Amino acid sequence: MLTESITIQEIILAFALIGVLGGWAIGRIFARFSRSGGSSVGTDQRIRGLEAELRVIQRKAEEAELALERHREESERTRAELDAATVEIAARDAELDNLRRGLTEECGKTQRLRHDLAERAEETIRASLRVRDAETELSVARAGSDAVLEQVQRLAAEREELTGRLRILQSELASTSPPPVTRLPVRDSK
């Protein structure tokens, strides 16, 4: 875009210069013809006409120079804006690179955390299975101890019953007749 505006400016300047030079050349040519022998009234009119054309061409040349100067100023402003935009783009590129590095690091951290989380989940599942196994063993042991306790209680109840019968029998025996005393044989100390 910058090269197009410069090219247009150069074209405008070239036309202005061609116009000025052409007007000057035409003026010179008519001046020579008028000296060589034409009528002075016709020549004066031609000279005035050529001078008027020269003034128009000079005015156009001045306008073209002004336009060229404006285009140069615009070009300089555009260059300044382009330089500022280039600096800003470089800063944003640097920031983007920093963000990409940060993102890469964060992705790495996330992967490590996921890996740690997976290992912990696996360990939790294993611990849960061990707890279930321990609960099962505890349930079996509890059921066994409950069964043993039940047996002990049943045996204690039988003992109470037998002890009660024995007392009843002893009291019946004691009330009926004294038992004969029997001596037990003594052992020889040899």
Where residue 184 falls among pLDDT bands split at 50, 70, 90?
low
Can you spell out the DSSP letters for 96-125?
HHHHHHHHHHHHHHHHHHHHHHHHHHHHHH
Write out 141-188 in H/E/C secondary structure. HHHHHHHHHHHHHHHHHHHHHHHHHHHHHHHHHHHHCCCCCCCCCCCC
Residue 85, pLDDT above cutoff 80? yes
Mean pLDDT for 142-159 is 89
| Mean pLDDT to the nearest integer, 10-34 | 78
- Residue 114, pLDDT above cutoff 90: yes
Average pLDDT, the chain: 83
- Which pLDDT does position 5 carry in this prediction? 56
CA–CA distance, 7 with 29 (Å, rounded to integer): 32
For helices 2-37 and 40-176, give the axis angle rounded to 10 degrees. Answer: 180
pLDDT band at 95 (very low <50, low <70, confident <90, very high): very high
Q: Is the pLDDT of residue 172 over 80?
A: yes
Single out the residue of 28, 92, 24 nearest to residue 58, CA to CA. 24
% residues pLDDT > 90 (the chain)? 28
Is the pLDDT confidence value at 166 over 80? yes
Query: How many CB atoms within 10 Å of residue 106?
Result: 10
| pLDDT tens profile 2-15 | 455 567 777 777 78
pLDDT for residue 40 is more than 70: no
pLDDT attached to residue 94: 93
